[in-house]
Structure 1
Amino acid sequence: MPTHQPELRTVNVTRYAKPLREGGSLPALVEADDDFLYVLKFRGAGQGTKALIAELVAGEIARALGLRIPEIVFATLDEAFGRTEPDEEIQDLLRASEGLNLALHYLSGSITFDAIVNTVDAKLASQIVWLDCFVTNVDRTARNTNMLIWHKELWLIDHGAALYFHHNWDNWEAQSLRPFVQVKDHVLLPRASELATVDAEYRAILSPDLLRSIVALIPDDWLKNPSVLESPVEQREVYARFLENRLTSSQIFVNAAIEARNALV
């Protein structure tokens, strides 16, 4: 059984290498003060800190389950960092992202997963489908797999579209108990024939304490939304309860995924 004690390092961004113009968030390849390269996700882009929260929580849940995820770190962007950037769009993004951001270790030499070329065994496919149903990750389709092959192994990236309940907090409890209908478009669903087995294994790993320890990693600075809930403590409590509810009622999304797969195969 995988063991996991969630803990993130913090690095300081020292060099903006190049933009990675994929999707709407404009991530960038950067170098940090530990001399490693990272894919930086900006708090000032797209969905703001909600995308960073989803990336952090879903990524660390995947890691706890033994799936391969590049190391996730907190990345600090100094206020002076973007002053010499000639591209106005990038300069605005850097200015809007001063402070604490999120970054993933750059997998140099990796290639994008292609379902036609790359094969995934039934167990791993079932594990990834279960994860995405659990965290409601809508972004693992044939058009955009968000998986990489690195050193002949499959790595998961880009979970910023997960946990979409937090874009509308009013009915989070109802959303926690719903099936994940978007699973029908999941690139690995046709291969996911062991969902029931994986469900039993993963329910044994993801204890409430483990889920809460991952949610506790969310910085207060990313939870400044007083129009929704009063405090970061209350917002973390909603994240934790959403995940706990979803785990307790996992048969709802597992059965829906099995039905969706049966319709395909």
Structure 2
Amino acid sequence: MVNNNALIRTVDVTRYVTPLREGGSLPAIVEADDGFLYVLKFRGAGQGIKALIAELLGGEIARILGFRVPEIVYANVDPAFGRTEPDEEIQDLLKFSEGLNLGLHYLSGAITFDPGVNKPDPLLASQIVWLDCLITNVDRTVRNTNMLMWKKELWLIDHGASFYFHHSWDNWKQQSERPFVQVKDHVLLPWASALEEVNAIFLEQLTPEKIKTIVSFIPAEWLVFETLPDPEANRKVYEEFLMNRLAHAAIFLNEAQHARKAII
């Protein structure tokens, strides 16, 4: 695994290449002014800005823990960008996504991870299961692994379904202390035999300072919600949610261990 604590870059989208018609969010491959291709996650898509926040937090927490994650960038979409797009659905998506969006470096030639083909390493499987329990990522199942094999290495993608507490925002503190019951459907759970070892290591690595740094990456404009308009107060909730979840990690660790015993 690798570590990369570089600050997040900002690029301007210059060309819409092709849609990736997966799920309801309609991400797309785009080209930016730096010459690279990115998978663009749109603020105007179904889950809105909160999916971008989850993608940013989940991806950067994974990165700081040493996982391979495509570079995440802020991606500006110009108001005029969608005017020449012939597809009305895509044109509307671009129109409602003017401003700052989120891009992930496109891993050209990558293939979907298949545990039947690439036997998971127990330690790596345990690390990924633990991460997804922390960030409440419901979207790493057999149906949709959200992992890629690229240059013979495993890469994590698509964390936009994480942090589902923020879609209701009610009782966030209680939600931070709940077990992650959806772990029973995690594609890597059968191989996750080192959860306790991983728990001890990752709790040491995810210090309050690192959590605050990662949460500080969220642009203030993404933190203005209709019923919760104070961006810095909302940023504080993300910080405290994560710190409280780490403080009660034994709860989701035990749930994952029990779920694994039930399937092996």
1:46 is aligned to: 46
- Contact map agreement 1:55 1:160 (CA 8 A) in 2: yes
Most deviating of 2-11 and 57-66? 2-11
Structure 2 unaligned regions, length at least 5: none
- Contact map agreement 1:6 1:214 (CA 8 A) in 2: no
What is the CA deviation profile of residues 58-104 of structure 1, one whole-angstrom value per residue up to 9, with x for unaligned ones?
Answer: 10000000001000000000001000000000000000000000000
* 1:114-133 correspondence runs (5 A): 114-133=114-133
* 1:144-159 correspondence runs (5 A): 144-159=144-159
What is the CA deviation profile of residues 161-201 of structure 1, one whole-angstrom value per residue up to 9, with x for unaligned ones?
Answer: 00000011121000000000000000000000000000000
2:90 is aligned to: 90
- Contact map agreement 2:3 2:63 (CA 8 A) in 1: no
2:172 is aligned to: 172
- Contact map agreement 1:139 1:161 (CA 8 A) in 2: yes
Structure 1 unaligned regions, length at least 5: none
User: Equivalents in 1 of 2:105, 2:226: separation in Å?
Assistant: 32
Over the matched positions of the two proteins, sequence identity in percent amounts to 67
What is the CA deviation profile of residues 103-153 of structure 1, one whole-angstrom value per residue up to 9, with x for unaligned ones?
Answer: 000000000111211111000000000000000000000000000000111
Could you state the TM-score of these two structures normalised by the residue count of structure 2?
Answer: 0.98
1:30 is aligned to: 30
User: Equivalents in 1 of 2:5, 2:66: separation in Å?
Assistant: 12
2:233 is aligned to: 234
**Amino acid across the alignment from 1:57:** L
User: Equivalents in 2 of 1:263, 1:124: separation in Å?
Assistant: 21
- Contact map agreement 1:6 1:213 (CA 8 A) in 2: no
Shift in alpha-carbon separation, 1:39–1:216, aligned structure 2, 3 A = same
* 1:197-212 correspondence runs (5 A): 197-212=197-212
1:251 is aligned to: 250
**Amino acid across the alignment from 2:213:** S
- Contact map agreement 2:2 2:67 (CA 8 A) in 1: no
**Amino acid across the alignment from 1:201:** I
Give the 4+ runs in structure 1 shifted more than 6 A. Answer: none
Could you state the TM-score of these two structures normalised by the residue count of structure 1?
Answer: 0.98
1:17 is aligned to: 17
User: Equivalents in 2 of 1:85, 1:4: separation in Å?
Assistant: 36
**Amino acid across the alignment from 2:257:** I
User: Equivalents in 1 of 2:81, 2:2: separation in Å?
Assistant: 39
1:223 is aligned to: 223
* 1:34-113 correspondence runs (5 A): 34-113=34-113
